[in-house]
Amino acid sequence: MNKWVPTALAAAMAMLGGCETTSTTPQFQNDKVSMKEASDDNVKMAYVYLNQGDRSAAMQKVQKAIQLDSDNPDAYTAEGAIYDAIGDLDQAGDAYRKALRKAPDDPGVENNYAVFLCKHGNAKESETYFVKAAMNPLYPTPEQAYTNAGVCATQIPDVGLAEQYFRKALEVNPASQQSLFELAQISYNQRKYLQARAFLERYDAAGLPPRPEVLYLGMLTEQAMHDNQGATDYAKKLVKMFPTSPQAQQLTEAQGHGGTH
């Protein structure tokens, strides 16, 4: 699973539902509002194409978006994402930084640039942008930036710092699913099994969607606490709900060899 929480990208693709818009060019070229809307539509379609693996079409949409509104920071963020996908990190960095220049205090742009930095080994620099985004009072979902900062800290690795950021995310949103899972994982790794169980119970109580990695961790945690029934319940749910997941396959193979450890 992709651990990163980008800003607005998933929402943009969900809004379009994977369908082409009827028009991406405004009727009146001198209408700035129409130009901005058309630019945004092209950005959304760029993400749809990028998600489908059609990077060429995605780049065409981005260039159209920039042509329609050269001050649209989301267009440069999308351009950065596409260059990142094709492995041109220099161009990707340039595009993200241009987005920042167009919108220097936009927390969404900061969050996405920070994800890019951390993905490519610049964890310390990314932390600055994550925190800046999270502390912006205009950011509607600061827990995303805190969660991403935590994920990045695990890659340093700095488990203590990661835990701090995941807990900050939960202070903002107690139902932050990635942070609950990450804290459960950290607790399990530290052999704090009761604490790991507590985070997993909070995950379940929040009504968050089941995920194979969560169910697998639940099984391991119950095994570590010698609760065979609890471990079995997690295992059955994992195999039933996510039979093709790597976790379910690993469990099935282990059972085939006479155990789940």
Per-residue pLDDT of 153-181, as tens digits, reads: 998 899 999 999 999 999 999 999 999 99
Confidence band of 255 (pLDDT split at 50, 70, 90):
confident
Between residues 80 and 34, the one the model is more confident about: 80
Mean pLDDT of the chain: 88
Question: Domain check: are 90 and 139 in the same one?
Answer: no
Residue 198 has pLDDT above 70, yes or no: yes
**Statement to judge: residues 169 and 184 lie in one domain:** no
Q: What angle do CA 53, 95, 120 make, to 5 degrees?
A: 70
CATH code (residue 16): 1.25.40.10
**Residue 146 placed within a domain:** yes
Cut 0.85: pTM above it: no
- pLDDT, residue 188, reads 98
Question: Domain count of the chain?
Answer: 3
Instruction: Report the percent of the chain where pLDDT is more than 70.
Output: 85
Predicted confidence band of residue 22 (pLDDT cuts 50, 70, 90): very low
* Whether residues 166 and 188 fall in one domain: no
